[in-house]
Structure 1
Amino acid sequence: MKLGCCASLWEDMILKLPAAGADYAEAGFSSLMGKSLDQVRARAAQLEKAGVSLESMNVLFPGDFRLTGPQADFSAVDSYLEENLPKAQALGVKVVVFGSGGARRVPEGFPQEEAFAQLVELCREHIAPAAAAHGITCCVEPLNQKETNILTTSGECFRLVEAVNHPNLQLLVDLYHFDLEGESLSALEGYRGRLGHCHIASAQNSRLVPQPWDGQDYLPFFQALAAMGYEGRLSLEGDTRGGLPQIRSSLAYLRQLIGQAAQ
């Protein structure tokens, strides 16, 4: 399993992640808006010089996009992806994360199943083919009910992935949201072959990245991933206000857990 950390693409912290033990970096896709391809290529050169492998990006859509309801605008999605996916490809990105809770939030009074059907169409006809054309896989992220009102569990997102049935649309599991929604780790076995990316932070500790002293037992999560044969990427996506020492400690701890889970 490869371990990474989320950071801003345009700030200096991302350049320091290799020193903290990160195998790769994850940045925000929507931060590509307004940047030229030349600007992105220049940043890619800086990342390469620093030894940073930018392999994943989150926040696929900014909050002002409308992806469900009567105002859903998939032509705007097409234009947005056409403009920005080449930039992600230039950075070497392999995975983009479709969380974007605000953009996918279902308007009050709009039928949930109709909104779900809209998201199936969005992913099948627009996101997955566009991502595939640039060698990228999109992973659908469940977000807890405080952040959005659709695709709030891994089971619901898995249903979407199965309905779309495209190799470039996969599932993401984020332990933070997973725990907040009270999901069972036994569900992970059913996602074998469909799980494309993972995030982790502590639901018990205000979304801090995991630490050996924080009181949460993460080993069952890694045991469940090992049991299903997951060997993909897992990113720290949480509070890293402690900077590089905190990130370094967390990544080292996760590597210990991976080793224990393999026994």
Structure 2
Amino acid sequence: MDARLRAAKAAGFELAEFHLWRDKPVDALAQALNETGMRLTGVCVDPRRSIVDPAEREELVTAVRETIVATAKLGKPDLIVASGFRVEGVSEEEHFANAVAALRAATDVAEEAGVTLLLEPLNTQLFAAMYLVSTKLGLDLVEAVNSPNLRLLYDVWHSAVMGEDMAQVLAGRIHLVAHVQVADMADRHEPGTGTLDWDKVMQVLTDLGYAGAIGLEYFPTLPMDQSIALTRQKLG
């Protein structure tokens, strides 16, 4: 994994992100970041726990706290939180209230540590029972928690799978988005291999005022150097 950071640096990248951390060589990653000068923009809270199931709330807060401690040596990256699955027999209003309560508890821990949590909506194609599969709902939750240490991770592919109008769902709320990830439709490969209009995607982000990082969360179909070249071409 640390070798991949060095390879990313050699390919001209200054930022990186990865999924879970408990199976990663954290000390070696810290050394690679230090030697290359790269910055880590995001890591998933590990283990993943539900924000809508009160029975998992304490475990969620513990996971956030332990992830903060473990990743401090990686430069205090933002920490990505998914929602977990819907709870049978629970109303929409209760789901929302439970999510707000859990996110507030987790964000309290993040605020103390000076770390930002990123709430990520997914999609029903991958996870049929996932609670948070809507950008609007994700932004509503961020607004309800009302903390500068909780923001949204907007994934262009998840949003497209759900049939969302990107400009519409982000209009007037881009200040609540701290990170964007990309992949092409329909099979989650590199930009330029599918049906999304990347000129339009990038123009929407520019017009809305997004100035943050863009993460490449896709399955490459080309040799890595060609995949990166195509992606850079499409994203401008």
What range is the shorter-chain TM-score in?
0.7 to 0.9
Cα separation, partners in 2 of 1:94 and 1:15, compared to 1, 3 Å = same
Structure 1 position 252, deviation (Å):
2.0
Which of these residues, 23, 31, 54, is aligned with residue 45 of structure 1?
Answer: 31
Kindly indicate whether the alpha-carbon contact (under 8 Å) linking 1:16 and 1:50 is maintained by their aligned counterparts in 2: no
* Aligned pair partner of 1:186 in 155, 158, 168: 168
- 1:159 to partner: Cα distance: 0.7
- CA RMSD across the alignment: 2.3
- Residue 19 (1) aligns with residue 1 (2): no
- The answer to whether the Cα contact below 8 Å between 2:185 and 2:195 also exists between their aligned partners in 1 is no
Give the alignment partner of residue 146 of structure 2, picking from 165, 170, 174: 165
Q: Deviations over 1:155-210 (max 9, x none)?
A: 01011011101111111211101111111122222213211111100123x10021
Q: 1:78 aligns with which of 44, 61, 72?
A: 61
Work out the CA distance in 2 between the residues paired with 1:226 and 1:43: 32
Q: In 2 relative to 1, CA 133–69 (structure 1 residues): closer, same or farther, beyond 3 Å?
A: closer
Aligned residue pairs, count: 233
Contact 2:120/2:154 (CA < 8 Å) preserved in 1?
yes
Determine if the alignment matches structure 1 residue 32 to structure 2 residue 22: yes
**Matched position secondary structure for 2:172:** helix
One-letter amino acid matched to 2:152: L
Gaps of 5+ in 2: none
One-letter amino acid of the structure 2 residue matched with residue 143 of structure 1: L
Question: Structure 1 CA distance, aligned partners of 2:139 and 2:161?
Answer: 18
Which residue of structure 2 lines up, in the alignment, with residue 60 of structure 1?
Answer: 45
- Supply the distance in 1 between the matched residues of 2:235 and 2:50 (Cα, whole angstroms): 39
Q: Which runs of 5+ in 1 are unaligned?
A: 1-9, 257-263
- 1:210 lines up with 2:194 in the alignment: no
After TM superposition, give the deviation of residue 145 of structure 1 in Å. Answer: 1.4
In structure 1, distance between residues paired with 2:208 and 2:171: 5
**What does residue 136 of structure 1 align with?**
115
Percent of aligned pairs with the same residue?
Answer: 27
CA distance in 2, matches of 1:67, 1:255: 33
- In 1, the alpha carbon distance for the partners of 2:109 and 2:65 equals 8
In structure 2, distance between residues paired with 1:255 and 1:21: 15
Instruction: Say yes or no: does 1:195 pair with 2:177.
Output: yes
Task: Pick one of 206, 223, 226 that aligns with 2:203.
Answer: 223
Q: Deviations over 1:108-127 (max 9, x none)?
A: 333232122111111112x2
Report the Cα offset of residue 255 of structure 1. Answer: 4.5
Q: TM-score, normalised by structure 1?
A: 0.79
Shift of 1:66: 4.1
CA deviation after TM superposition for structure 1 residue 247, in Å? 4.3
1:187 and 1:75 map into 2 onto residues whose CA distance is: 32
Letter paired with 1:56 = G
* 1:6 corresponding residue in structure 2: none
Q: State the secondary structure of the residue aligned to 1:84.
A: helix
Partners of 1:42 and 1:18 lie apart in 2 by: 15
